[in-house]
């Protein structure tokens, strides 16, 4: 029997486990309207999903000073946190996927652009906290795509990059994985297009969250020479 290639599977939250992109866009739009800011397109707002909130606001409004950026963040949080439970939902099968992977012996973690307060709220509301060994948030370390978030997770659980898989729906997730020396699995059902995700040479991609266990069963085993080929290449092409 082939040995399992990964010990640690790290999930992004928004757009990977939680279908929250629409709620994020609406909350950003509410902050823009409340503060009478220059408008931004839905595409521009969706593009910053996955970054830490400070980095996201700075990307949307690079001309804003520190005081205005802080105000934007505060108003955004107010709208985001005060929405009803119908504003965001887990992707179908999320808990079943995590339960299956945990049952197979994978250690699971979360690396997210959310704040610690936001993630703890989400984990409590969904009940998914029980599946994760550890997590890192953008307000307690460096924001994606800097690799520090993922490196800290690996250090916390004693995992090595070569046996770590990052599952995410944005370029920031996959770039972070590459910079940390870990593998990436593109969640092509989330925020960024598959074309954008493939620029970072993930090992593969899934079109729905429920495909992750089957993908790992097919591809998450050690290959000859101890390496896994990136999507679009064979092991010998690396």
**Nearest CA to 190 among 75, 113, 86?**
113
* Burial letters 153-175, b for 16+ CB under 10 A, else e: bbeeeebebeebbbbbbbbbbbb
Is residue 14 part of the annotated active site? The answer reads: yes
How many CA atoms lie within 13 Å of 133's alpha carbon, on the beta-carbon side?
19
d(CA 135, CA 11): 9
Q: What is the pairing mode between strands 18-19 and 89-90?
A: antiparallel
**Rounded to 5 degrees, what are φ and ψ at 136?**
-135, 140
> 3-state DSSP call for residue 201?
coil
d(CA 141, CA 128): 22
Q: Which residues contact 78 (CB under 8 A, 6 or more apart)?
A: none
Q: Quote the tokens at residue 237.
A: 């092409």
Active-site residue identified among 12, 19, 169, 173: 12
Active-site residue identified among 7, 14, 19, 36: 14
Is residue 169 part of the annotated active site? The answer reads: no
Which residues are identified as catalytic? 12, 14
């Amino acid at each position: 029997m082939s040995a399992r290639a990964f010990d640690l599977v790290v999930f992004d939250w928004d757009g990977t486990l939680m279908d929250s992109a629409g709620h994020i866009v609406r909350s950003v739009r509410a902050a823009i309207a409340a503060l009478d800011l220059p408008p931004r397109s839905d595409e521009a707002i969706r593009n910053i999903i996955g970054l830490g909130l400070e980095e996201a606001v700075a990307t949307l409004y690079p001309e804003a000073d520190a005081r205005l950026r802080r105000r934007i963040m505060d108003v955004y949080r107010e709208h985001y946190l005060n929405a009803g439970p119908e504003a965001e939902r887990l992707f179908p099968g999320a808990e079943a996927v995590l339960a299956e992977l945990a049952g197979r012996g994978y250690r699971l973690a979360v690396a997210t652009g959310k704040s610690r307060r936001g993630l703890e709220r989400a984990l409590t509301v969904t009940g998914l906290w029980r599946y994760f060994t550890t997590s890192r948030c953008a307000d307690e370390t460096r924001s994606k795509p800097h690799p520090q978030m993922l490196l800290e997770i690996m250090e916390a659980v004693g995992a090595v990059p070569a046996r770590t898989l990052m599952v995410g729906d944005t370029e920031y997730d996959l770039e972070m994985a590459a910079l940390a020396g870990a593998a990436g699995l593109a969640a092509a059902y989330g925020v960024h297009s598959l074309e954008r995700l493939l620029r970072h040479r993930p090992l593969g991609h899934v079109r729905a969250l429920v495909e992750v266990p089957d993908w790992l069963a097919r591809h998450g085993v050690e290959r000859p020479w101890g390496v896994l080929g990136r999507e679009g290449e064979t092991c010998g092409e690396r």
